[in-house]
Structure 1
């Protein structure tokens, strides 16, 4: 029943309403026919037929009712259960682009349930993923590769029927890089690389082949089915006189090869990917967007080392994530040219190198540049010409910005400094022999001239200049740690106090000197005179830097001493400074600091930033040598918004009571140098031997000479023992200590005086004899006579 205006009305079924309407229509139609035809029988038949047809339709409706088909959402229970057990991230979308279902791995990877291709990835990956989805609707399946959350993800898309797309996201682990590379080289992709002219192999850390693509096996072994795995890769290659690499099987007539090494992982024992490219034979370049070029880019993207591809016009073609991180590149606004990454001073050199390699010149090079984001930190960029890589013409990598690269640079710098030190020491030694002869001859000539003679002043000037040259050689020996030191146990504040008055005069009235001493300073063992020279040299450099930046004065030179314990050293995390107790000396200024490109070179001899004639470049090298020879360490750095800072670490001298020994005043010596007796003089330099012989003869000695140790033993023969043996230390055929030991075997009491241009401390290691004196070169006639007198006095 239905209620209408408060009155209950029975509800009539719909088929009875249809029958009532049909009867009414039949009666109306019969009346119309009767009106026009005038025959009652015809009109009644028409009405009856209408009623029969309507009744048949209603009966059929009642006998066969229509099923109620209602639209609703499908049951996704089974699909969700299948997705939940999948190891990869899985999602299902419909034709309208709506997400139908996804598993928990999908939620973990994308931090929610976004609908593909609108995932939290960069715009370029989103576009590639959308294109792959459209391809899957058309072709049934498609693949793509994107980066999600810093992880490389391989995407596989399958069409299910005509209404659904199944998306599968497989995250790629770094540990799977080697497996992926093996699959890449051994499968059809390796053949595609070969068609592009790229021979590739994966080598184990010991240089043996793990896998190689077909074209490399063919070129290296003569057939593509050869068992190349496990063999030494270097045995397949030879190098000609010009440094060109060729296959050993093809001989010197074969095509030269370019070898490109690509480390897969950071570890030193990780496999290495090797690519070989023909140098002379033109290699077919794959077209833009071809499968070979895309696989090369995918391979570059896999590499954990910073790599980028640059085209012939000098523009970036592709860069992997490691390159973007190393160069601090904003992925939303990547640079167009490599020169956009570096500071203005380095743009020209980098652009020229890329242009040269893009044109086919050169094999490989490295450039030291500074990025805009880190202008004070130099990094090394490696450039290699590339062929057969599609648009790319240059392979670009970043080196030296890691801890390993920094340590390698430090080792290389230390090795270079050691080599330069050895060279400087050898030059200084030979120069000392020459100066000994010059100074000795000047002394002998001055004995025959008196002040007022026409030649006296000239001889004196020659001797003065020779002494200045001797000072330069002492600086070279100081740098090479081969000078003669007289170390004492002392306190650094005492050394600073001795030199403070001199420093105030050097700085003048416009600059301020501040001295600060720490507590509990340990004693150090060093030559006080040489330490004073270290402080003076550093102070003079600081003064010049402050006067150049503050012409009107106002600069401050600060000298500090402090105690540094082994725990403090460990907290510094310095790879050069070993753990131990030190007394540190810090000298800082308020100048402009040291330029970044100058800082690695400041301790090299003859390197100076001053104008020509204003400096020899030996000041800081002398400081470096004195500190190192004293067993210490020196570091230079820039203070932010201040100046330069030099820090010297001297090891604390350990003794039983920890007391500081005092300087022992030298015993007064008599001015008389005349003597008598026989002296055996052994010296390989003729000019030094001649001067020493004449000087000792004039003092009253009988001198017998020899040019090396063997001749000296022959001169002695079976004769009596000499009263004194004077010998050079380093000589050809037989050196001084070896000869002296043989002489002492015959004459145990004979005194020995060694002379040398090298440091006494260094030579003492090879001299294991008692009652031995030492005279450093260059020396004067007076010094030689006094040394001979003192040595004879010990007999």
Structure 2
């Protein structure tokens, strides 16, 4: 028996009338019978009883007529479906009959299997139409209006053909025929084997399949091993017949193997074999002994932007990243090089395209075959890696320069301060001394910029209120922008606190505002705005993922000339500047980047040429510090005078040691000098030497500062220590030593800063005693 949908009488009646129509007839018949029963049983007057008899009889007669008509329709439907079932029930093609609403009333076995329980014709079209219900209705109406119609739809496996014809009484008969698309690889002008990397064959050209004695499942069943290397042309030999073929072995993007067999090996037929490579998805070209590109497939012409008739020299199309391409070709032909693969740049100003080119001998006339792969992404990654190494090297260089340069600046600035003590403002040399001091301070600021870029400066973190911070900084920033530029400050609502170094954050604002001013030579408006930004799911931007949380966002926006995409990509690089020679160091924005990253924040830039630039800084929101009740302050005793004390000064740089010793002697202290940690230990071997404070450089040849102090700390457990260095990493070394009563001062420092810190340590020691 043929499976069908709705083949029984009840189903046919439901398809035509629906369950609601059957229920309605039963309800009407019940009403008519009730009226007749009332007329028989009720004690009513003559006219009323007669009216009830008439209405009830009419209803029952109408129901009988409708039931007879329904039975007739059901019988007609059964007869029609019997005919359709006899014609199409066992057909392999899908066939079905639908009603006026597209509901299936009959389906053969193939359609039943395909419908999988669905009861509407649109189930056939859900995978091939965006609106299958509309397509069913449209085809159904066309078939009823025009007679037989055909509608074809292309699918992945071939073509789906729908044939519709009227089936009477508002129904249509559907026939669905699927045709499989031919494998286009069978039409290639060469034989081909497609396999997995382990050699299992996934496709075999019909001619090769016919040459094999049995159906091969593995490349080794068809070809003699070993095969030529991937990416290299060579000779492939059939295992059964021994027939030899020129061919090429390729690894596709999905890591599957593709072995291309051209034709039986024939030295006189190389050019004809090469022409068969036109349809390959890789770039292949043939170069004659003069270096001219005489053959190129379509992919080669696309990459190199060649017209079909172009025959150009290979060395004119590509340029080497080291030696010229012409020399490479000559060395390859002469056998002077063993590496036949190079990365070359396409010689086209409009493209920044790199190709990995492999060359092999081809034929007997000194010709070479070139196989080219796009290596642009690889070169981009290589450039990023090189840039990261360069940045790391610059960071290490910055630290080394800072250490040595700060020693020099300390000596220059310190001795200048000593000379200024002997000159007043009326002295003729005073302006020259002030110039030395000011330029020393500028040099020290440049070193701080280098350290900020390399993120190796020492930051004094504190919790800051952006509203107060910007209010304090706005006066300085207004003086920087000049008369043509307007500076506007816009505060966000409910701004959280941030944690950063106040002085360094002011430096960030200053650098950004100065850059915005320079980007608007004709004037304009700079807007500094703040915003409280909640990121419950974090934020991915510019290949960076911000963790979920609350952030304070500071934006500095200008109306300037904007940046190109190239400039924007390099904007935070050290020593990169768009200003003229001598107008900038190229460290401003790299300093900003270093400070923000060292503060645990993120900075992004948005810019478009002619539409201004916006720098956005994201800093994690900080909770407000809890306020503890303060006890009434006790009255302070007058500060004690600085005691005259003995200071052990350990510094390997003679100019710095000389300045520091003189500065302390001017304060009335006795200074014991040592040029190394070992010399300091030798001085302390004398029991009579009892320094009141140690002043030591951190990094020195031999024993460093924390090293020699550790050896005598048990003898001097309460002696204050002042560590000094010109490199931020040294402050971490000093802190890790965990000495009590130890402080750190960074070089370069002024005479007042140095003596003030030493005297403060001595005063604390005196008060503790």
Question: Which residue does the alignment assign to 1:238?
Answer: none
What is the CA-CA distance between 1:580 and the residue it aligns to? 4.1
CA gap 1:754/1:360 in 2 versus in 1, 3 angstroms: same
Question: Which residue does the alignment assign to 2:462?
Answer: 488
What is the CA-CA distance between 1:501 and the residue it aligns to? 3.3
1:308 equivalenced with 2:283 (yes/no): yes
1:773 equivalenced with 2:747 (yes/no): no
What is the CA-CA distance between 1:365 and the residue it aligns to? 3.4
Which of 369, 380, 388 is the matching residue for 2:361?
388
CA distance in 2, matches of 1:131, 1:368: 30
Superposition RMSD in Å: 5.2
Question: Which residue does the alignment assign to 1:233?
Answer: none
CA gap 1:764/1:294 in 2 versus in 1, 3 angstroms: farther
Matched residue SS, 1:581: strand
CA distance in 1, matches of 2:657, 2:585: 31
Question: Structure 1: which 5+ runs fail to align?
Answer: 1-76, 79-83, 85-103, 133-141, 147-151, 160-164, 171-178, 201-212, 215-259, 275-283, 302-306, 324-333, 341-347, 662-666
Which of 472, 485, 490 is the matching residue for 1:511?
485
Question: Which residue does the alignment assign to 2:620?
Answer: 651
Question: Which residue does the alignment assign to 1:183?
Answer: 219
Q: Is the 8 A contact 1:485 1:761 kept in 2?
A: no
1:632 equivalenced with 2:601 (yes/no): yes
What is the CA-CA distance between 1:414 and the residue it aligns to? 4.4
Q: Is the 8 A contact 1:681 1:706 kept in 2?
A: yes
Which of 546, 550, 565 is the matching residue for 2:520?
546
Matched residue SS, 1:384: strand
Matched residue SS, 2:272: coil
The within-5 A match list for 1:24-39 is: none
What is the CA-CA distance between 1:112 and the residue it aligns to? 5.0
Question: Which residue does the alignment assign to 2:337?
Answer: none
CA distance in 1, matches of 2:667, 2:346: 62
What is the CA-CA distance between 1:183 and the residue it aligns to? 3.2
Question: Which residue does the alignment assign to 2:659?
Answer: 691
CA distance in 1, matches of 2:155, 2:394: 61
CA gap 1:754/1:337 in 2 versus in 1, 3 angstroms: same
1:741 equivalenced with 2:684 (yes/no): no
1:317 equivalenced with 2:284 (yes/no): no
Question: Structure 2: which 5+ runs fail to align?
Answer: 1-90, 93-109, 111-151, 162-178, 195-200, 238-247, 260-266, 308-314, 330-339, 631-635
Question: Which residue does the alignment assign to 1:50?
Answer: none
What is the CA-CA distance between 1:271 and the residue it aligns to? 9.0
Question: Which residue does the alignment assign to 1:616?
Answer: 585
CA distance in 2, matches of 1:316, 1:360: 20
CA distance in 2, matches of 1:109, 1:371: 44
1:479 equivalenced with 2:453 (yes/no): yes
C-alpha distance after superposition, 1:224-279 (max 9, x if no partner): xxxxxxxxxxxxxxxxxxxxxxxxxxxxxxxxxxxx9997556xxx79999xxxxx
Matched residue SS, 1:287: helix
CA gap 1:429/1:562 in 2 versus in 1, 3 angstroms: same
Q: Is the 8 A contact 2:186 2:205 kept in 1?
A: no
How many residues are treated as equivalent by the alignment? Answer: 541
Question: Which residue does the alignment assign to 1:727?
Answer: 696
Question: Which residue does the alignment assign to 1:680?
Answer: 648
Normalising to structure 1: TM-score of the pair?
0.57
1:750 equivalenced with 2:712 (yes/no): no
CA distance in 2, matches of 1:455, 1:261: 83
Q: Is the 8 A contact 1:729 1:737 kept in 2?
A: yes
CA distance in 2, matches of 1:448, 1:668: 34
C-alpha distance after superposition, 1:62-106 (max 9, x if no partner): xxxxxxxxxxxxxxx99xxxxx9xxxxxxxxxxxxxxxxxxx9x9
Q: Is the 8 A contact 1:357 1:385 kept in 2?
A: no
CA gap 1:617/1:594 in 2 versus in 1, 3 angstroms: same
CA gap 1:447/1:506 in 2 versus in 1, 3 angstroms: closer
What is the CA-CA distance between 1:431 and the residue it aligns to? 0.4
CA distance in 1, matches of 2:753, 2:230: 81
C-alpha distance after superposition, 1:315-338 (max 9, x if no partner): 993476xx9xxxxxxxxxx74734
1:502 equivalenced with 2:476 (yes/no): yes
Q: Is the 8 A contact 2:493 2:531 kept in 1?
A: yes
CA gap 1:600/1:710 in 2 versus in 1, 3 angstroms: farther
What is the CA-CA distance between 1:496 and the residue it aligns to? 2.4
Question: Which residue does the alignment assign to 2:408?
Answer: 434
The within-5 A match list for 1:409-424 is: 413-424=387-398
CA distance in 2, matches of 1:530, 1:363: 51
Question: Which residue does the alignment assign to 2:328?
Answer: 360
CA distance in 1, matches of 2:592, 2:566: 20
CA distance in 2, matches of 1:527, 1:576: 24
Q: Is the 8 A contact 2:318 2:344 kept in 1?
A: no
What is the CA-CA distance between 1:556 and the residue it aligns to? 3.4
CA gap 1:413/1:520 in 2 versus in 1, 3 angstroms: farther
The within-5 A match list for 1:68-217 is: 108-112=156-160, 143=191, 156=205, 183=219, 187=223, 193=228
What is the CA-CA distance between 1:655 and the residue it aligns to? 6.0
CA distance in 2, matches of 1:285, 1:606: 60
CA gap 1:538/1:189 in 2 versus in 1, 3 angstroms: farther
Matched residue SS, 2:691: coil
CA distance in 2, matches of 1:639, 1:769: 53
CA gap 1:656/1:190 in 2 versus in 1, 3 angstroms: same
CA distance in 2, matches of 1:195, 1:727: 65
Which of 659, 679, 684 is the matching residue for 1:711?
679
CA gap 1:579/1:271 in 2 versus in 1, 3 angstroms: farther
The within-5 A match list for 1:339-354 is: 351-353=318-320
CA distance in 2, matches of 1:767, 1:261: 63
What is the CA-CA distance between 1:422 and the residue it aligns to? 2.1
CA distance in 2, matches of 1:636, 1:382: 32
What is the CA-CA distance between 1:520 and the residue it aligns to? 3.6
Q: Is the 8 A contact 1:583 1:650 kept in 2?
A: yes
CA gap 1:755/1:387 in 2 versus in 1, 3 angstroms: same
1:793 equivalenced with 2:763 (yes/no): yes
CA gap 1:669/1:507 in 2 versus in 1, 3 angstroms: farther
Which of 605, 611, 620 is the matching residue for 2:574?
605
CA gap 1:516/1:190 in 2 versus in 1, 3 angstroms: farther
CA distance in 2, matches of 1:567, 1:658: 28
CA distance in 2, matches of 1:457, 1:751: 38
CA distance in 2, matches of 1:370, 1:588: 37
C-alpha distance after superposition, 1:619-643 (max 9, x if no partner): 1122122112212222234258623
Matched residue SS, 1:680: strand
1:337 equivalenced with 2:304 (yes/no): yes
Q: Is the 8 A contact 1:584 1:650 kept in 2?
A: yes
Q: Is the 8 A contact 1:586 1:648 kept in 2?
A: yes
Matched residue SS, 1:606: coil
CA gap 1:751/1:107 in 2 versus in 1, 3 angstroms: closer
CA distance in 2, matches of 1:668, 1:350: 86
Question: Which residue does the alignment assign to 1:784?
Answer: 754
The within-5 A match list for 1:183-332 is: 183=219, 187=223, 193=228, 265=253, 287-290=270-273, 301=281, 308-309=283-284, 312=287, 313=292, 317-318=296-297
Q: Is the 8 A contact 2:453 2:591 kept in 1?
A: yes
CA distance in 1, matches of 2:221, 2:670: 85
Between 309-318 and 761-770, the greater mean CA deviation after superposition = 309-318
Matched residue SS, 2:487: strand
Question: Which residue does the alignment assign to 1:277?
Answer: none
